[in-house]
Amino acid sequence: MDLYRLVRPALFHFDPERAHELTVQGLSVASRSRLALRALGALAGGCHDPSLRVEAFGLTFPNPVGLAAGLDKDGVAVPALAALGFGYLEVGTVTARPQPGNPRPRLFRLVEDEALINRMGFNNHGAAALAARLRRAKAVHGDWLPPVGVNVGRSRAASDEEAPGDYAASLRAVWDVADYLVLNVSSPNTPGLRGLQAVGPLTAVLGAARRVAGERGERPVLVKLAPDLSPEDLAAAARAAESEGAAGIVATNTTVSRPGLASPHAGEAGGLSGRPLAPLAEAALQALAGATKLPIVSVGGIWDADDVAARLSAGATLVQVYSSFVYQGPALPGRLCRGLRERRAATGPSAA
């Protein structure tokens, strides 16, 4: 029996952001208890099956199912999230200095659509604080943690001209503790940010990342793109990323479109995630798979093992979940891994 189905109504009784805070706080507390970590690990059956292992951009992933950025912005719950069986975790989005984000309310549940809308605005405690937490987590738990990526974004106070230097400041702060980095140039909730996906600005930001790599040593750097770009613009961004030495593409971020929503919150400003995002994320994956040889991390509307298998078959190397984790709870990674393993056992790895 999935106990989360019993708990979720009480959790969903809270304001969405308050429920998010309570969840992350609970996972943070669990991260400090080996007993709690073992209990959470009992949900992860199947996630460490060798048949699910993935090699990508120089890293080994225990399985292809990762947690997308946004849930643990400040890296406070990495051990507990890892214990649940995720093949990797992406923390952030983090900025060079702490910032409060946009005014509340800024997170909305669209229960009728199994979706979320957020306009958080990169609220976080800053790159240096995140780096310190990751360093402690790796010192204590590094022998079993999966890869942990850090997603970095432009500070709200930074102008377009200052963006490369602002990204470089964040990257320098987290570079040594991140297994990979993601340049978030596609959130709809920081004014002007999505303009950085154009070839010229994106090349400048990637150039800043290359300079940090020259100072600190190589790390895989990926670029996160929006689902609202045309196939031609997605391809152009991917080509720019490839030519500037990026290790991969994360596709996609949230969408500003509102495709056939039933919820009364459908008109809220911000980025939409969850089930309604799936067709756009699938279309972006298709466009990118035909435009680049870079590994693609597919995100958006992944709900079950069939979705995971379909994205992998369509050209993704890895996948990430977020909204489905909110709606389905902590057993989700184990459920996805077992489903993918069973599907492969029945049809062969080529089917996924």
Quote the CATH superfamily of domain 4-351.
Aldolase class I (3.20.20.70)
Q: What is the pTM of this model?
A: 0.96
165-168 LR contacts (CB < 8 Å, sep 24+): 165/208, 166/95, 166/96, 167/205, 167/208, 167/209, 168/208, 168/209, 168/211, 168/212
From 302, 303, 330, 304, select the one nearest 316 (Cα to Cα).
302
CA atoms of 10 and 14, how far apart (whole Å) = 7
Q: Give the pLDDT confidence of 131-144 residue by residue, as tens digits.
A: 999 999 999 999 99
Q: Do 80 and 71 contact (CB within 8 A), yes or no? A: no
Q: Give the pLDDT confidence of 97-141 residue by residue, as tens digits.
A: 999 999 999 999 999 999 999 999 999 999 999 999 999 999 999
**Domain regions of the chain by residue span:** 4-351
Residue type, 66: G
Active centre residues (catalytic) = 187
Nearest-5° Cα angle at 181, 163 to 307: 115
Q: How confident is the model at residue 351 (pLDDT cuts 50, 70, 90)?
A: low
